[in-house]
Homo-oligomer: A and B are copies of this chain.
Amino acid sequence: MADFPSPMGTASVTADLVVLTVQDNELRVLLVRRGIEPHRGAWALPGGFVLADEDLDAAAVRELREETGLTAPVGHLEQLASYGAPGRDPRGRVVTVAYLALLPHLPAPVAGSDAEGAAWVALPVGELAFDHARILADGVERARAKLEYSPLATAFCPPEFTITELREVYETVWDARLDPRNFHRKVTSTPGFVEPVGRSVAADRGRPAQLFRRGPTHLLHPPMLRPTP
């Protein structure tokens, strides 16, 4: 820690995660049930303290791996915002750096050391510990906005996916209905968004769908447009 005086004294720094996934046409967030005070028994965002010699991003990656068991670099992780209101943690001054993770649907999550359990909870969720409801709302809003101008909807999909699966991601996150025909044309004609794998996947009924994987672009030109309600 710092070996010099400052007006603040010092604070603890945590990395908290808004981990979103799409499952059964629902947007779900990974929550843990707190096993320790404060807010014991309440739902909270997963997260934990940043280690002494650890960068913020590294702490987020570590927490994500600990909570999900993820090893392969799938999905997407980015810094969301920081929250440091003086009274947000009754134990003292805690500043949290929140991260947003978008993942394809994964098997059951594992509980961390200080959590009694973890679960994928469909939105909207009820009460959350600390100011985590606000952090979650900011993360969801960020995710909704980013689907417009970035190809991050593919982060919610497995490595190979159909255009219909991608459209259902948009429809779920935006809570909107999109025209399947126009969506298909737009996605496949936006340079670098998706690339055809060359294989098809059989469906229960109807014509088999082509498989795609995510393309090289990080910015969509032109962007996807959210319907105006």
Contact = CB atoms under 8 A, between A and B. Distances in A.
Interface residues of A, number: 35
Interface in A1-48: 1-4, 6-13, 48
Nearest to A222: B225
Nearest to A15: B84
Contacts of A2: 10-12, 89, 91-94
A50 interface: yes
Given A81-B79, A86-B53, A97-B82, A91 B3 contact: yes
B7 A51 contact: yes
A93 B1 contact: yes
A89 B6 CA distance: 14
A85 interface: yes
A10 to B, nearest CB: 4
B56 A95 contact: yes
A130 interface: no
A183 interface: no
B91 A8 contact: no
A52 interface: yes
* Residue in A3, A4, A79, A86 with the greatest tally of chain B CB atoms within 10 Å: A86
A54 interface: yes
A204 interface: no
14 contacts: A1-B12, A1-B93, A2-B12, A3-B92, A4-B92, A7-B49, A7-B51, A8-B12, A8-B52, A8-B54, A10-B11, A11-B50, A82-B97, A84-B97
Closest 6 CB pairs of A and B: A2-B92, A10-B10, A56-B84, A2-B12, A6-B49, A1-B9
Given A56-B85, A82-B82, 10 more contacts: A2-B89, A2-B93, A7-B52, A8-B13, A8-B54, A9-B52, A10-B12, A52-B93, A53-B86, A84-B97
